[in-house]
Amino acid sequence: MLVADIYDWVPEALTAKAKLDYDSGAARRVDEWRDMLKRASGYTGRRQLEEVNHFFNKRVPFRSDQSHWGKDDYWATPYEALGTNGGDCEDYVIAKYYSLLKLGVDVSKLRITYVKAVRLNQAHMVLTYFPTPDAVPYVLDNLIPQIRSASDRPDLDPVYSFNGDGMWLERMKGKGILMGNPNKLDLWTDLRIRMNNLGMDL
């Protein structure tokens, strides 16, 4: 990935916009996001995943949608999560997903995956990465700092997953069963519209 391409995707104008929309702290976080992408563009494979995973887990404090947005469910763009300095599990996943796509990771290797967090007894979302189509995926999660194989995460019970290409009934250890078009998900469609308005949908 060329550095120039990364700066096109997170342009300097977005830093100025963040300062106007939010504050100077938001502008600094957008700059840090751009710098992380530049740094991660020099890595490959697991190292790239770790760089992106670590950045958002550390930079974005956890806040529930109700306390942060006054809504039961809201999927924030990476710009919104960094700008408002908060997000929940969906927002971490969305930020990691779009960042890895920008870094050149093929969309077929990434799945936004709904799971049940067994120990918490609640719905949760993680990003899964398939190094090969039939591989057991790696799990990028805000609940723990390490990236682990899905087979090492018995605390997560997969339900379904999707990416820009499709939706699957998920089995976590395999590809899952193709269900259809993810654009039927209203929250996903709304997110992509807002990303497009920022000039950032891929």
User: Taking the domains of the chain in order of start, what are their residue ranges?
Assistant: 3-197
- % of the chain surpassing 70 pLDDT: 87
Lowest mean pLDDT among 12-21, 82-91, 135-144, 166-175: 166-175
166 band by pLDDT with thresholds 50, 70 and 90:
confident
Binning the chain into helix, strand and coil, the percentages to the nearest 5 are 50, 20, 35
Mean of per-residue pLDDT scores for the chain? 89
Choice among 5-14, 44-53, 150-159, 170-179 with the minimum mean pLDDT: 170-179
pLDDT class of 3 with cuts at 50, 70, 90: low
Taking the CA atoms of 87, 88, 94 and 95 in sequence, report the sign of the dihedral they define. Answer: positive
Supply the pLDDT for residue 165.
Answer: 78
Distance from C-alpha of 34 to C-alpha of 44, rounded to nearest angstrom: 17
Residues 117-135, mean pLDDT to the nearest whole number = 94
Any idea which of 62-66, 117-121, 132-136, 164-168 has the lowest mean pLDDT?
164-168
Per-residue DSSP letters for 14-25? HHHHHHHHT-HH
Query: Could you tell me the two tokens for 165?
Result: 């290409």
pLDDT bracket for residue 172 (50, 70, 90): very low
C-alpha span between 183 and 18 (Å, rounded): 28
**Residue 181 above 80 pLDDT?**
no
Tell me: pLDDT of 177 over 80: no
Q: How far apart are CA 14 and CA 198, in angstroms?
A: 8
Given pLDDT bands bounded at 50, 70 and 90, which one contains residue 26?
very high
Domain 3-197 classified CATH 3.10.620.30?
Answer: yes
